[in-house]
Each structure stands twice: as C-alpha cells, then as structure tokens.
Structure 1
Amino acid sequence: MGLELIELVPIFMVFILYFLGMPIVYALFGSTFFYFTFIDTTSKNWLILQKVMTSTQSFSMLAIPFFVMAGSVMNYGGISDKMMDFAEVLTGHMKGGLAQVNVVLSMLMGGCSGSANADCAMQSKMLVPEMEKRGYSKAFSAAITAASSAATPVIPPGVNLIVFTLIAQISLGRTFAAGYIPGILMAISMMIVVSIIAHKRNYPTTREKFPSLKEIVKQGITSFWGLFFPFGIILGMRFGMFTPSEGGAVAVLYCIIIGRFVYKKLSLKEHLVPILLDSIAGTSSVVLIMVAANVFGYYMTWINLPRVVATGMLSLTTNKWLFLMACNVILLIMGMFLEGGAALMIITPLLLPVARQLGINDYHFGLVAIVNIMIGGITPPFGSMMFTTCGITGCPISEFLKEVWPFIVSLLVVLLLLTFCPFLITCVPDLLYGAA
C-alpha cells in the first residue's frame, strides 16, 4: 500500500520547524496536531490529547527520573570525584593522561544524567578548563569531551537503553547487560586515538610512572562504592532483588547513603534543591521527548508508515547484513539532526519490525542503533553534542572539526565491528540470563 504525498507533510514539517529553531518536542507535537486538524479530520483531537496522557502512564518509565536523580546525587555527593580519582590512577601515567581520564570517566559515569548532551556539558565545565591549564589545546579538549560523551548512554544505566527497552518491550536487565562490551570498546578505541595524538604532540602525563599495585588497590577501595554502582544495579535485577523501576529508586538511595555517610560530601540541606532541580530538568526533557515521539508515532501508525517502510526495505533486500548497513546510514544521519532519545523514539518503531522479520536479535539491533545515533551526535554539520561542547567551551566549530575526525573514525570502526559481530553484544546477556 502506497502513501499520498499529503500524508507525509508532518514528517517534512518536523524537520522544517526544527531547523527554524523550534525545540524538537514542539515540532513533533505541532506536526501531529496539524495533520489531524487540517489533513485527516476523521480522528478527534481529544483522542490525540488522550494519547499524550497515556504515554506517560507507564510504570517502567519511573526508572528514568530515578536514574537521572542518581546521577545528580553522584555529582553532589562526591561519587563522581572518586570515580575520576580512580580513572586518574589508572591512566595518569599515559601520555595525554588527563584526556585518558576524560574517556574513562565517561565510561564509569554510565549516562546517568539522562542525556549525552548533559554528560557532555558536565565534562565540558569540569575537565576542559583543567586540560587547557595543563597544555592541551582547547579544540582537542573539546573534541575528546564530546567524543567520550558518546559512550556514556551506551553503558548501563544509560537512559537511552531504558528508552529502547520501553519501545521494544524487552528485558531491561538484558539491555543493560548488552551495553557493557560496546561501551568498553568505544572507550578503548578513543583511548588508542588519544595515545597516538598525545605522543605526536607530547601532551603531558599527570603521574610520573605507572602506579604500584598498592596504589591501585588503595584507590580502588576508596572509589569502590562508586565503581560498584552500575554492576550492583545489574546484579540486583539479575537475582530478582528489584525490578528496573525499583532499581532506579535503589540507585538513588544507594547514592544518598554513600555520598552522605561514606564520602561525607552530600549535605541534604545544601544540595537537596539543586538535586531536585537537576532531576526535574533532566527528566522533563527526556520524558517530554518520549511523549512527543509517542504521539508522532501514533500519526505514523495511523497512515500505516511502519508497514510501508517494512515492505519497502524487504523489497530492497532480505539480507540482514545489508539491512543493518542501510540502518547504519539512516541512523547516523538521524543522529546528526536529532537528540538521541528523540531519534531513537522515531526510528525504532519503523525499523525494529523489519529487523525482527530478518531474524536480527533485538538487543543487537538496539545497541547498534544507539551507538549509531551517538556517533551522529558528534558528527558535522549538525551534531548536537558538537554544538553543546563548542558553546560551553567557546571553541570555534572549525577548530573542533579538525580535532574530532580521528575519534569519529575510531567509533565507526567499533560500529562496524558491532554490526557484523552480534556476539559482542549478546554474550554478556546470555551469560547472565541464559540464551534468549
């Protein structure tokens, strides 16, 4: 079944409104209401408003505000600092030690802020000024900060993993477990690039020599409670101690206890209001995008777009590897234009049914999609994390582009590896939960 051009007007409207500077949430809402008000009036507008309300009524969605709040508590409670100290002990002896710390810290943080852009903003404020003081160029500091933030939503408990789970209706525990190896591979690839560049430019180390085992163990014990956080969440869900949504609440409680009584940096009197404000800001942006994308998804389902796309894709190829390569191109482009959560919400309902028909594992498809979109976020000309980093650091985009391309190449190599080696994504979930 084909589609008339007028039925596709809302899709064009979304991009036009977005490029005119309208936030993606309002672009999605406005385009959907335009369609049902002026093009197809057979569905009442109050039904669309009802869809807005029902989109928020998901118990699983409670995981998002809890994990976002946990990330904020980690920052104010000193847990993030302890993680950075541990990263510095492990990588400080390397050339470009502070740049290596930047990558490792992104990996350890696990995207708790709810957005790669938020992670990017945090590290731009925290690490870029310090890197400049120690002799790194502003452009290189901004490039590694943006590139490393692409890994945070891939590692548990990244909110994009939760978003994909809600769309695909699959196990959150398995999705979290599937993110470990892709996230670690992304970090390793960037650390290799940093090492090569640092040796060429003779960037400084932060430590004179490789730490002794005693130093590593000592710092590991000091930072243990922060390092245990992501693994503890996975293990708790695996052994049935709590559901994913309850796991978010447990994460908040855990971070409060550690920040208040172990590291003794969290003051509820001083930090409660900033934590709540951070949590509200982070949660509202993610949930609003999810609701808007759900409403836009209602429009796509109404015009039968998912079935048309599935039929079109399957008529082009029934080879799952060619399909995945086509998805890589589509998702990379989507990631350049839209924030990660919005791109994932729009594109997954269209492509996931085709992937399932071709026998592609849900977790394989999901992680490839998330990695794609994150790489798109640092890719010119419209990568959102690129603009976030350059805006905060004051780095000219032209200089940023000269420094970021080696990191984009390294991440694309990892993407191809994940695309053609699904075992790298499915082995940890299968090990923890048994074969799917």
Structure 2
Amino acid sequence: MLIVIAVFLGLLVLGVPIAYVLGISSIVYIVSSDMGLFGSAPMRVFQGVQNFGLLAIPLFVFVGELMNSGGISTRLVRFTNVVLGHFRGGLAYVNIATNMFLASILGSANAQTAMMSRVMVPAMEKEGYKREFSSAVTVSSSLLGPIIPPSLVFIIYGVISETSITRMFLAGVIPGIVLAVSFMLLIYVIAIKENFPKAEKATSRQAFRALLEVIPALLIPLVILVGILTGVFTATESAAVASLIAFFVGFFFYRELKLKDLPKILIDTALNSATVTFIVAMASLLGWILAFERVPNAIGDFLISFSDSPYVFLFILNILLLIVGMFMDGIAAMIILVPILLPVALNLGIDPVHLGIIICINLTIGLITPPVGTALFIASSISEIRMETLTRSLIPFIIVAYAVLLLITYIPAITLTVPQLFSG
C-alpha cells in the first residue's frame, strides 16, 4: 500500500490530471498485490457510474451551455446591474448576485468561474476596479455554484451516500444565501475603504425594461426550485425540464440560440460530462481498493480515538477536508472519503444531509485555495493575472468562507431547516 501512496502523491506533484492519478494508482496496487482483482475491476468501474442520479449531471451541463448561447446569462447580468449597479462598489454586488442566479442553473464553480471571468472582470476593470479585486470577487462568488441548488457535488454525494438528492438541494438554499450575504458585507467594507465607483441609478423605464427582458430567463431557476420543493419532479427530472425551458427561451424569446449552435453545444456538454464521469469511475475504483484494504475502518477508528464528541469530530473533519481540498479534486476526494466518514458520523448522531453540506462546501472552498485550486487556475488564466497576486486578493474572501463554514458546521439548523420544512 505504501507504493500506491507514493505513486499517488508523485503523480499529483507532477500535475497529472486527477482521473489518471486515481486510475494509475489503482492499477499499481492490483499489479503489486493481487492480480486476481483485475477480473473484478472493470465491473467496479462500471458500477461506479451506473446510477440514475448521475444522469442529472449532463442535463445541468446542457442547461448551462444553452444559457450561454441563448443570451440568458447576458440578460441576468444586465438586470442585476440595473438593480445594484448604482451602489458604491455596485459591479461587485452585481457579480455576486449574478452568480447566485447562475448557481441555480449551472451548479458548477469551475463553469461559473470561466463564464464570469470573461464577462465581469473586463466590465469591472473598465469601470475602475483593480483587476485582481475583480478576479477575486468572481472566483469567490463561484463558490455559490455548488452550494445553491442544483449542484453537481450534491448529486454525487447523494449517489455515494444514498442520501436523498432532493433533500441535499433543499439543504443548500440557506447556506448559499448566507455565504452570498457574507461576501456582500465584506465588499461593503472594502468599497468604503477603497472608495469604489458607482454607476448612475437607472430610470424607472430602464428598470422596467430590464425586468421584462429577464423574466423568461428567471423561469429556469424558478421552475427548478418550485418543482423540487413541491415534489412535482425529482432533481434529475428538474434538469430535463430546465433544459427544455432554456431551449425555448433562447430560441423563441431571445432568438439568440440558433439551430446551427446545437452540435457544438451537444459536443461541449458531452466532453464536460465525460470528464466528471471519468473522475467518478476512477475514484470508485480506488475507493473499492481502499475498502478492500480496510482503510476506511482504520481511519474511522483513528478519528473516534480522539473523542466520541460529534463537535470534536466535526472540527477534525474540517481540518482534514481543508488539507485534502488544497491538493485534490473535490469530486474524487468525496468519492474516496464519504464511505470512510459517513459511518463514523452516523454513529455520532450527525445527520447525513448536514454532513454532506459540510463536506461539499469545504471541498468547494478547495477550488479557490492554492496550490491545486482549479477555479483559481481558470480565473488566473482568463484574467491574465499572476496566481500569487490573485491569491493575496482572495484571502479576505477565503476567511469569510471558512467563517460561514464554521457557522454551518455547528448550527445544523442553517442546513436542516428547509429539508425538514418540506419533508412532509
């Protein structure tokens, strides 16, 4: 097993894509310890992705692609700018508010970072904001993607832990709002200190026109949330309905979506979905090997040896996930760690939905923390800003994010109130 750990860490340091790291490490273990496992390995890989809940991933990716091509994202930005742009630091608020809207459709921090870095960073820089601050706001706001439902990481956690994906979606509503409001309060303080610019207040006519334009776009998150809350359809079904609405809005209302765009949209959807699915498959293989070696049992016993208090366990859990999130892809880490952590948490009386929110948020924060924060790399590349400079600007936002995480960790009501409210 030591050889596998060495290979795993070595490949990570070399910058090999995480899916290949997981797969190669698994093969090294099988070759070095038990060739008989080769017969079962393909079936394990297949079983790792054979789950109905995972069908929501390509559907939500498809929704995001339709939004980009159909002019929906542009109108969301325009509407939030009319509402919030006249405040000091208004474009920073617009950035966060738009990310909240997109989060209810895309569910991916990396996708939102890429999209908003192209849209908001140049717009903010043009209005006099520093590029590093604009990028920091964009990257930190992308954390809302995997927290406000629907969420790809919630889907994967639900599949792994056999927890209701709908309950996970409901549990993410309040934490997402709390995080967004916290970022806005931070921006308010910075805006006063730095004397950020503000735009002229829109006239009533301009505001009304922007509202009329955005109403069709708002149908997408509205249908998703109302449908899930009322139980009309499941999370996966909501993704299919949202795809249909996004197509009609972009094609018939805004008329920016063209039939000639569909082949590229479908190809991009397939490529992005395949990337996630490949990671899930390889992580399932490594998770199976770890279970074969009884690693989850050993780690569980180690965690319990510290204390049988759920508060201590959650504290240790956050430290563990903080470290793991800095070096490893969140989806892969979740697939490996959830089977280890879930039994321990259940023994301590921790609700699996509450545990899932803590794990998902913590690993999502890892996307914006060096040295292996993928959202950080995306923003740095698109905005053409040095990683070190961007990281320094991100520090206040990371501190706020961890403060919110601690609140969510030790006040379960923030997470569980909405699921309990709609459980009947």
TM-score (norm 1): 0.92
Deviates more, 1:318-327 or 1:391-400: 391-400
Q: SS state of the match for residue 102, structure 1?
A: helix
1:32 to 19, 26, 29: 26
Task: State the alpha-carbon separation in 1 of the partners of residues 388 and 230 from structure 2.
Answer: 50
Show CA shifts across 1:294-333 (max 9, x none). 1111111101111111111112111111111111111111
Secondary structure of 1:265's match?
Answer: coil
> For residues 47-94 of structure 1, what are the alpha-carbon distances to aligned partners after superposition, in whole Å with 9 as ceiling and x for unaligned?
101211222222221111001101111111122122212221232122
Q: Which residue of 1 aligns with 2:16?
A: 22
Matches within 5 A, 1:17-416: 17-41=11-35, 43-110=36-103, 112-113=105-106, 115-206=108-199, 208-209=200-201, 219-269=210-260, 271-416=261-406
Task: Say if 1:154 and 1:183, in contact at 8 Å, map to a contact too.
Answer: yes
Counterpart of 1:14 in structure 2: which amino acid?
F
Kept after mapping to 2: 8 A contact 1:113/1:282: no
Structure 1 residue 424 and structure 2 residue 414: aligned?
yes
Distance, in Å, in 1 between the alignment partners of 2:318 and 2:239 is 31
Percent identity for Structure 1 against Structure 2:
38
Q: Distance in 2 between matches of 1:341 and 1:115?
A: 11
User: Could you tell me how far apart the structure 2 residues matched to 1:332 and 1:136 are?
Assistant: 30
- Output the TM-score relative to the length of structure 2: 0.95
Task: Pick which of 367-376 and 85-94 moved more.
Answer: 85-94
Amino acid at match of 1:382: V
What's the CA shift for 1:408?
0.8
Per-residue deviation at 1:101?
1.1
Amino acid at match of 1:316: F
| Secondary structure, aligned partner of 1:155 | coil
Question: SS of 1:198's equivalent?
Answer: helix
Aligned partners of 1:351, 1:225: CA distance in 2, in Å?
42
- What is the number of residues matched between the two proteins? 424
1:211 offset after TM fit, Å? 7.0
RMSD: 1.9
Distance 1:12 1:327 in 2: 24
Residues in 1 aligned to 2:397 and 2:292: alpha-carbon distance in whole angstroms: 41
Q: Is the 8 A contact 2:147 2:175 kept in 1?
A: yes
- 8 Å CA contact 1:338, 1:384 repeated in 2: no
Distance 2:37 2:366 in 1: 37
Q: Unaligned stretches of 5+ in structure 2?
A: none
The CA distance in 1 between the partners of 2:104 and 2:276, in whole Å, is: 13
**Counterpart residue identity of residue 401, structure 2:** L
